[in-house]
Amino acid sequence: MDHAAIAALEDRHSSGGVTRRPVTITRAVGARMWDANGNEYVDCAAAHGWAALGHGHPEVNEAIATQLRSIATLTESSYNDQRARWFGALAELFASTLGTTARGAITRIHPCNSGTEAVEAALKFARVATGRTDFVAAHRGFHGRTLGALSATGTSGYRTPFEPLLPGFQHVTFNDAAALESAITDQTAGVILEVVQGEGGVHLADWDYLRTARQLCDEQGALLIIDEIQTGLGRTGQWFACEHLGVAPDIIVLGKALGGGIPMGAACWREGLGTFASGAHGSTFGGNPLACAASLAVLHVLTRDRLPERATLLGAGVLAELHAAQAKCVREVRGLGLMIGVELRQRVTPVLQELLKRGVWALPAGPNVLRLLPPLTISEDDLERAIGTIVDVLRAS
Ligand code: PLP
């Protein structure tokens, strides 16, 4: 089938919820993708943020292939060697990055199949752990599209068509500590925040903001839920973005990069908070050995190849180049590690379309922000080429 036939078939049957770009991607390796017509693209989106190691990383592929020869899918209703190893590896990572505070280390892990499911689990768990039902979240925050996660999401465009959503959610201005203080009460089960708002425009939490959130949660007995689905696992230059600010959450939610391309998410919380009662939460595919094997390979490669450090190094270079470009259409450049936003004085769609024509795949973050999330493994040549093209396109816009 050629691109026209494929597009016609997809358009005939798709649910319509996701707008497609006018290309058919058929193959990808590392940070490069190819379409059905043989055109090449540098993937500066890491396929919406999951491909931290790039596409088809050989060690992840090998782990998947090996695991397929024993068992692929198995619920948590029996024990499994891969799942046990993965639980252990993740708990060790939390201990070495987020530490073991007086509040206790993050040791409890609910495995699931996407970011939004991880958020659902976090919200349910916060309710049972505190016996409360209220949540505080931020305007422009994005936490997913299922009804619970959507209730936490702070952009009206996503929410309004599906209201009424869950009761008890209050949204406050991001980075406004006073607004947080008036919203968090002794009825608050949890406060859910991103450290860098991704979908909402690549906005970084202020230095003191998360610490204030931590302190207010402690004072009111609420749980601090940090959504690291996009920022986690090295993207911002630390394993977890909250490390930049020295704040440890009660619950952390992960997704995207976690499964190395196999759908996977996780909601993870502090030891002292307890566990779900038997039967209170679960998933057919959550914690399946295939995803756990892939994720173990991801964690291994990220550690061995010091990819969080590489994100810091490459990200600093990209930020410097974008700042130096002085394109008239650019209002602000911001970012942390390899999570970069370029706020434009105009809509981003024409810029994305021009980039696509010139072989660079990037993302929007709201109507006027260009978002870059390249694989942490991208070669310096590919990154240089992509940023050169981006600078050219911005200067001409
Ligand atoms: N939370 C954040 C911060 C995200 O960026 C996303 C996805 O973009 C989600 C949650 C939802 O994850 P998923 O698309 O895997 O359901």
CA 348, 349, 350, 356 torsion-angle sign: positive
**Residues paired with residue 321 on neighbouring β-strands, in sequence order:** none
Q: Is the CB of 141 under 6 A from ligand 1?
A: no
Please choose from 113, 140, 143, 150 the residue to mutate so as to test ligand 1's pocket, defined by most ligand atoms within 8 A of CB: 143
- Over residues 285-342, the pLDDT tens digits come to 999 999 999 999 999 999 999 999 999 999 999 999 999 999 999 999 999 999 999 9
DSSP-derived 3-state class of residue 107: strand
**Cis omega (within 30 of 0) on the bond before 164?**
yes
Is a pLDDT exceeding 90 seen at residue 266?
yes
Q: Is the CB of 116 under 6 A from ligand 1?
A: yes
DSSP-derived 3-state class of residue 137: strand
Going from the Cα of 324 to the center of ligand 1, the distance in angstroms, rounded, reads 31
Q: Contact 48/363 with Cβ under 8 angstroms?
A: yes
> Active-site residue numbers?
142, 227, 256
How far is residue 204 from each of residues 93, 111, 316, measured CA to CA in Å? 24, 27, 15
Q: Contact 188/132 with Cβ under 8 angstroms?
A: yes
Is a pLDDT exceeding 70 seen at residue 102?
no
Which residue is it, tokens 């020869």? 69
Q: Contact 193/173 with Cβ under 8 angstroms?
A: no
Q: Residue 226: its pLDDT value, please?
A: 98
Q: Is the CB of 231 under 6 A from ligand 1?
A: no
- d(CA 122, CA 116) in angstroms, rounded, equals 10
Going from the Cα of 93 to the center of ligand 1, the distance in angstroms, rounded, reads 21
Residue 23 burial (CB count, 10 A): 18
Which residue is it, tokens 């422009």? 140
- d(CA 360, CA 352) in angstroms, rounded, equals 8
Using 50, 70 and 90 to split pLDDT, how confident is the model at 99? Answer: confident
| Proportion of the chain above pLDDT 70, given as a percent | 99
**Per-residue pLDDT averaged across 1-26, rounded?**
97
Q: Euclidean distance between the first and final Cα of the chain, in Å?
A: 35
- d(CA 267, CA 190) in angstroms, rounded, equals 14
Is a pLDDT exceeding 70 seen at residue 256?
yes
Q: Contact 220/185 with Cβ under 8 angstroms?
A: yes
Is a pLDDT exceeding 80 seen at residue 123?
yes
Q: List strands edge to edge, sheet with 25-29.
A: 25-29, 32-35, 40-43, 360-361
Q: Is the CB of 259 under 6 A from ligand 1?
A: no
Residue 110 burial (CB count, 10 A): 26
DSSP-derived 3-state class of residue 350: helix
- Over residues 67-92, the pLDDT tens digits come to 999 999 999 999 999 999 999 999 99
Going from the Cα of 227 to the center of ligand 1, the distance in angstroms, rounded, reads 9
Which residue is it, tokens 């409360």? 132
Is a pLDDT exceeding 90 seen at residue 207?
no
Q: Contact 381/315 with Cβ under 8 angstroms?
A: no
The tally of CA atoms less than 13 A away on the side-chain side of residue 204 is 18
Using 50, 70 and 90 to split pLDDT, how confident is the model at 103? Answer: confident
Nearest CA to ligand 1 atom 7: 144
Residue 222 has phi, psi (to 5 degrees) of -95, 160
Please choose from 48, 145, 226, 229 the residue to mutate so as to test ligand 1's pocket, defined by most ligand atoms within 8 A of CB: 229
Q: Contact 339/205 with Cβ under 8 angstroms?
A: no
**Per-residue pLDDT averaged across 376-381, rounded?**
98
- d(CA 91, CA 88) in angstroms, rounded, equals 5
- Number of residues assigned to the chain: 397
